Amino acid sequence: AQSVSQHNHHVILSEAASLELGCNYSYGGTVNLFWYVQYPGQHLQLLLKYFSGDPLVKGIKGFEAEFIKSKFSFNLRKPSVQWSDTAEYFCAVGGAGNMLTFGGGTRLMVKP
Amino acid sequence: GAVVSQHPSRVICKSGTSVKIECRSLDFQATTMFWYRQFPKQSLMLMATSNEGSKATYEQGVEKDKFLINHASLTLSTLTVTSAHPEDSSFYICSANAPWTSGGTDTQYFGPGTRLTVL
């Protein structure tokens, strides 16, 4: 069975600070990894995804994530956050049958 | 592209009634749709996988007689909460596979969710 762990439940940053959200997974097969974002009052949106190839994946809005196979990690990063990045971020693993398993989510608050 | 809609966005019903939630892929065909449940301040929990033209696959602990799923066409899946009770109050979210993504693996696009309140 696959599982996803997001260690940071709440993160508070000031604008322009750098962001790194941790995501660790366990899955025995070929892994597909995703980061989704849920802005307040809105639905989940795909930030970026990794299927294969370059382990450094660039997504929308300046976000990137690095797949480190040896560490079973897929951490999300952004060099300089903005107030508009305040949202909840979910890491997810895609397994057999395209099923997604989500991590518990990380609530990010960016102070202006 | 890849827009998924849900209807209704919010529903309040009395205990014992049934509620139907629709999930539509607006600009693509989805052979597979997924239904999730999200509790307050928690992550999404997969309830079932809905395949067009066949029976849904339910996750462990999800009552298939209570949460009826029908995937009648490539753009529509419905979730019916039968004989709803207050503990069924939750945020229900559907997603649909977008089959054109690279790597041979689909990406899921999510609907805006339906907030169900059972009185």
Mean pLDDT per block of 10 residues along chain B (119 residues) reads 88 95 91 89 87 88 93 92 95 85 66 94
Which chain A residues have a beta carbon less than 8 Å from that of B44? 44, 90, 102
**Chain A positions touching chain B (beta carbons under 8 Å):** 32, 34, 36, 42-46, 49, 51-52, 90, 94, 97-105
Which chain B residues have a beta carbon less than 8 Å from that of A49? 101, 107
In the prediction, which pLDDT does B101 show? Answer: 54
Scan for tokens 């977008």, then name that residue.
B98
In the prediction, which pLDDT does B105 show? Answer: 56
In the prediction, which pLDDT does A68 show? Answer: 94
Mean pLDDT of A17-24: 97
In the prediction, which pLDDT does A51 show? Answer: 86
Best of A2, A34, A100 to disrupt the B interface (most B CBs within 10 Å) is A100
In the prediction, which pLDDT does B106 show? Answer: 66
The three-state DSSP-derived secondary structure of chain A is CCEEECCCCEEEEECCCCEEECCEEECCCCCEEEEEEECCCCCCEEEEEECCCCCEEECHHHCEEEEEHHHCEEEEEECCCCHHHCEEEEEEEECHHHCEEECCCEEEEEEC
